[in-house]
Amino acid sequence: MTERDEASSRDATLELRLALNATSPGNVTRLFHFIVAFLLAAAHTAFAAPCQFETQGEGRVAAMVDARSVRLDDGREVRLTGIEPTATTKQALTSLLVGRDVSLRSADDTPDRYGRQAAFIFAGDGGISVQAVLLAQGDALVSAEIADKDCTAALMAAETEARRQKKGNWADPSAIKNAESPDDILAGIGRFMVVEGKVLSVRQAGAMTYLNFGRNWTRGFAVTISKRTQPAFENAGIALKSLENRRIRVRGWVEGNTGPRIDVRLAGQVELLGANEPTGVRP
């Protein structure tokens, strides 16, 4: 990237951030239109580059199916990939997409077992995905299911900014669970959660590595990482044993009977937190 492109990218990021800061829930559609128009003018910069996969078709959104799936006017059902919904996702998506022409982008258009096509959705000729808009508003969570590192980094950056500004979902003090309060986590069994805490010990049992956040291994919160997932951490330069006594943020589906567990299958589900980094936890 040239110095001119880098400067343009910085300017684009700053202007978008100012727009997001000035946005209230009632201005969701206006914000989206601003982002689309602005990024079309700055499409040559790297700012619009992440998550630009192959085009997998176009259509008009006829209706919402659920909190992150839409039905196009030709009958196709599209699931928004890369995010997990919050309480406000469906309402935000309805405002952003219903009745609009969209294009679909993904690495593969093969439907899932429910017949849904997973994709990033772009409204009109927009250069930024609807997923990124939802994350920037605090109306969704990053699911960490995207293998493309640049795309994942862009989505995480949008979520991080919304969290820093306590937008949408992040205005709720309980949006991030405290690893020291396993009962609060266990109450959300079967749900996708974000949890923060200090790893007290790292133990291996058979083909499974356990990151324990409590002294009581059976009742405390723990993260499980199978042997087949470990190479992903090694490729990211993270030795699992080095996580002992480190503060981390982990996201995933809560499982367990006695103590809550999150099974980590992708390295992107775990974020290392600096010793002086402000915590998102509000016990």
- The per-residue pLDDT string of the chain (283 residues; one tens digit each, 9 = 90 and over) reads 444 444 444 444 434 443 444 444 445 445 554 444 443 333 333 344 678 888 899 999 999 999 999 999 999 999 999 999 999 999 999 999 999 999 999 988 888 888 899 999 999 776 789 999 999 999 999 998 888 888 989 999 999 999 999 999 999 999 999 999 999 999 999 999 999 999 999 999 999 999 999 988 889 999 999 999 999 999 889 999 999 999 999 999 999 878 999 999 988 899 999 865 555 543 3
Nearest to 163 by CA among 251, 80, 75: 251
Q: What is the pLDDT of residue 280?
A: 54
Q: What is the pLDDT of residue 224?
A: 96
Q: What is the pLDDT of residue 91?
A: 95
**Residue 48 CA: distances (Å) to CA of 4, 53, 121:** 15, 12, 14
Gap between the Cα atoms of 140 and 131, Å rounded: 8
Q: What is the pLDDT of residue 8?
A: 41
**Tokens at 265, concatenated:** 């299958």
Q: Is 157 exposed, middle or buried (0-12, 13-18, 19+ CB in 10 A)?
A: middle
Q: What is the pLDDT of residue 275?
A: 61
**Helix (H, G, I), strand (E, B), or coil: what is residue 142?**
strand
Contact 224, 210 (CB under 8 A): yes
**Tokens at 78, concatenated:** 């599209």
Furthest CA-CA distance within the chain: 57
Contact 19, 87 (CB under 8 A): no
